[in-house]
Structure 1
Amino acid sequence: MSLKTEREAPQVVVHLPTALRALFPEAPPRVQVRAATLAEVMHVLDQRWPGMRDRLCDSRPALRRHINAFVDGERVDLTRRLQEGDEVILLTAISGG
């Protein structure tokens, strides 16, 4: 994303999961970014905290199986377009036996 494009993109709030913040201790629980899609959110997060995108996305690219993303209560994928003020919630899946 170019600097000009980033300035024009909507500002959204991203909620980062605790498990991810344990790997990136300098990352806050909530961060504001400018991004038009969830894929752009991943790019911006990776610019701020190198390696974060690899923890959230695989090589297809798609969200990893154990990562869920929600916007307005709806589960979304990387192609989701974002609007000014959207809240993106990233969660790690919980499994057990």
Structure 2
Amino acid sequence: MPQHSPAPPTVQIRLPDALVRLFPDSRREVALTAASVNEAIDALDACWPGMRDRICDSRPAIRRHVNVFVDGEPATLGTPLQPGSELLVFTAISGG
């Protein structure tokens, strides 16, 4: 009998107001299916084209002034996601 790969987990994603304002139909909180931070960002971009470019640069990597956390820990594009994980995206605050 063939074995099936488990479906990617559903994760909760929280986005900053600054990003949500740029995509009028987006929401601050959304549940999407993704197995990694990279897949989650791809899923966001599928919902709201252009969002990936706001979160990632061309290397590709998370932009310098954007922070991504998974379950409270700093994350990269390769960070894996578990069912029920919370992915938090926020923009860095800087000043002088």
**Deviation at 1:47?**
0.5
Q: What's 2:39 paired with?
A: 40
Counterparts of 1:20-31 in structure 2 under 5 Å? 20-31=19-30
Q: What's 2:66 paired with?
A: 67
1:53-96 Cα deviation digits (max 9, x unpaired): 00000111100001100112111100000000000000100001
Specify the code of the residue in structure 2 equivalent to 1:43.
D
Larger Rg: 2
Q: What's 1:78 paired with?
A: 77
Greater fraction helix: 1
User: 2:33 & 2:25 partners in 1: Cα distance?
Assistant: 19
The sequence identity of aligned pairs, in percent, is 52
**Deviation at 1:26?**
1.0
Matched positions, count: 92
Specify the code of the residue in structure 2 equivalent to 1:34.
T
**Which 4+ stretches in 1 moved above 3 angstroms?**
none
| TM-score of the aligned structures, taking structure 1 as reference length | 0.91
User: 2:89 & 2:11 partners in 1: Cα distance?
Assistant: 13
Specify the code of the residue in structure 1 equivalent to 2:57.
D
User: 2:66 & 2:24 partners in 1: Cα distance?
Assistant: 19
SS of the residue aligned with 1:46?
helix
User: 1:72 & 1:81 partners in 2: Cα distance?
Assistant: 11
**Deviation at 1:23?**
0.3
